[in-house]
Structure 1
Amino acid sequence: MSDEAAPGQVRLRLDLSYDGRDFSGWARQAGGRRTVQGEIEDALRTVTRSTRTYELTVAGRTDAGVHARGQVAHVDLPVEVWEEHRERLLRRLAGRLSHDVRVWRVEPAPAGFNARFSAIWRRYAYRVTDHPGGVDPLLRGHVLWHDWPLDVAAMNEAAGHLVGEHDFAAYCKRREGATTIRTLQRFSWERGADGVITATVRADAFCHNMVRSLVGAMLFVGDGHRPVDWPRAVLAAGVRDSAVHVVRPHGLTLEEVGYPADDLLAVRSREARNRRTLPGAGGAVGCC
């Protein structure tokens, strides 16, 4: 996966959003399941009247049912295809795509840009309500109902203990050859005037099920079923705890992806490919 387009091609950055409820996640899958990647790649092939599919690389592969407001991807197109369609590409994509996915911007990417490896953080929001009446029907596809009162102060105290660089194996679904070491840059909770409680979770990267597992642990603290120190103890144990519940995906939204200054994009991309270990750890654990 190169950080530069091949000769004769131009790398484009796409900014997009989607409602994930009717998608089987981001990544194209065998068997004809509907995915965000498949939808956009098919639309791009159609509107450019191309005989081949141009593959997208995305900042964060979202699971089935997860939404995105600030997703970023890149695609490499032949220069002549871009020059022919650049003025009308965005409008044509809008006419071809389904209403639950939108591309908001398409433009040439700066040198060294890789949507996945150049990113320095991803910010997610998870929304939940503890209102005894349930979820506002207009928000039901984006807010989880938790039928116990939640103590936001206790959840913030517990979340603060997890911020920093750690091995999050206890909160991730392991994948062969992949590290579970991540730097959690921010984890906080806030109750809005409408009663919806929003978790803001920002990290350099996330492993599979990490955000939903972290949220599940905090809900157990917030409703009093577990003490404030329990999530930190789970983290220290370093193994999956059956008591950590992976909450449903519909409350989760990828809100924003952060990138460094243009002149640092290629450097960041190389760093992100390095194998990570914690201080004092005995050897590397997978990649990125």
Structure 2
Amino acid sequence: MRIALGLEYDGRDFTGWQTQPAGTGIQDALEAALSRIAGTPVATVCAGRTDSGVHATQQVVHFDVDVQRPESAWVRGVNTYLPDSVAVRWATVVPEDFHARFSATGRAYRYLLLNRPQRPGLARGRAGWFHHPLDEAAMVEAAARIMGTHDFSAFRAAECQANSPVRTVTRAEVRRFGDWIVFDFAANAFLHHMIRNLVGSLVYIGKGAHPPAWMDELLAARNRTLAAPTFAPDGLYLAGVDYPAGFALPAAPVEGEAFPWIAP
């Protein structure tokens, strides 16, 4: 039997999603909790590996088990054994051909940035911070330039293992809510550190270091060293994963539910 789960987590307590020898990955915590409920070792596959310090409001995972348990056991039961910073939101039986990673048709990420002179207190570790005023109109114009299919080599980490740097971006929005700037991205897939590198370059544009057309230059140059430094992981969230409608998975949380402190 194949089960799919929807997770949310605060990434600050972990070294990222992937299992580690010291057991410090989110995957380690989840598999230990699932194994307690299943009564046998459980191996998981996620939709997208998140880095150390990166959060999720909707990570999707699948695993296979031979035991029968009510779906509530995979939610409330598993949550009993998870650290407080990780929670299963839903569980559902899926067809054997469902794959959390390879069945996904798109992924969405959000970056939350606090733009004020004072560093964050309440949102420490859960939002990025930039102390100088940012011109959101310039960032909106620059973000629109990455829409469509491009070679994103300029925004790809050196250790990225993707076979191709070409990705198709279907959403690239920048919005301000008071002191908050919200960056929303959606694409068929993302490269390692792609979002954090895009945010870093958008911030450079927002502070006036470069015009919006600089984004076109970076895409054309395909040179990571020409773009801005990688931005902090604190404000990055895996916010949703798209699958064919036939799998009938629950939707990602709406904006106000996931981020109540910046909801319009």
TM-score if structure 1 supplies the norm length?
0.81
8 Å CA contact 2:72–2:91 kept in 1: the answer is no
With over 3 angstroms needed to count, the CA separation of the structure-2 counterparts of 1:49 and 1:149, relative to structure 1, is: same
For residues 117-132 of structure 1, the aligned pairs below 5 Å read: 117-132=102-117
For residues 112-261 of structure 1, the aligned pairs below 5 Å read: 112-135=97-120, 137-174=121-158, 175-176=160-161, 178-193=163-178, 195-261=179-245
Deviation at 1:263, TM superposition (A): 7.3
8 Å CA contact 2:162–2:191 kept in 1: the answer is no
Partner of 1:67: 55
Secondary structure of residue in 1 paired with 2:192: coil
TM-score if structure 2 supplies the norm length?
0.89
Unaligned stretches of 5+ in structure 1? 1-9, 266-288
Deviation at 1:246, TM superposition (A): 0.4
Distance 2:99 2:193 in 1: 23
Distance 1:177 1:220 in 2: 26
Task: Return structure 1 stretches of 4+ with deviation > 6 angstroms.
Answer: none
Equivalent AA in structure 2 for residue 27 of structure 1: Q
Distance 1:66 1:121 in 2: 19
8 Å CA contact 1:110–1:262 kept in 2: the answer is no
Equivalent AA in structure 1 for residue 62 of structure 2: H
Partner of 1:284: none
Distance 2:248 2:189 in 1: 18
Deviation at 1:48, TM superposition (A): 2.0
The answer as to 2:49 corresponding to 1:57 is no
**Cα deviation 1:206-243 (Å, max 9, x = unaligned):** 11000000000000000001121112201111121254
Q: Pick from 104, 125, 129 the counterpart of residue 89 of structure 2.
A: 104
Equivalent AA in structure 1 for residue 172 of structure 2: F
Unaligned stretches of 5+ in structure 2? 250-264
Distance 1:88 1:112 in 2: 23
8 Å CA contact 1:111–1:262 kept in 2: the answer is no
Partner of 1:17: 8
> What RMSD in Å do the two structures reach over aligned CA positions?
1.9
Distance 1:177 1:166 in 2: 15
**Cα deviation 1:88-132 (Å, max 9, x = unaligned):** 332221111110000111210145321111111111110112212
Equivalent AA in structure 1 for residue 93 of structure 2: P
Of all paired residues, the percent bearing the same amino acid is 38
Distance 2:210 2:135 in 1: 12
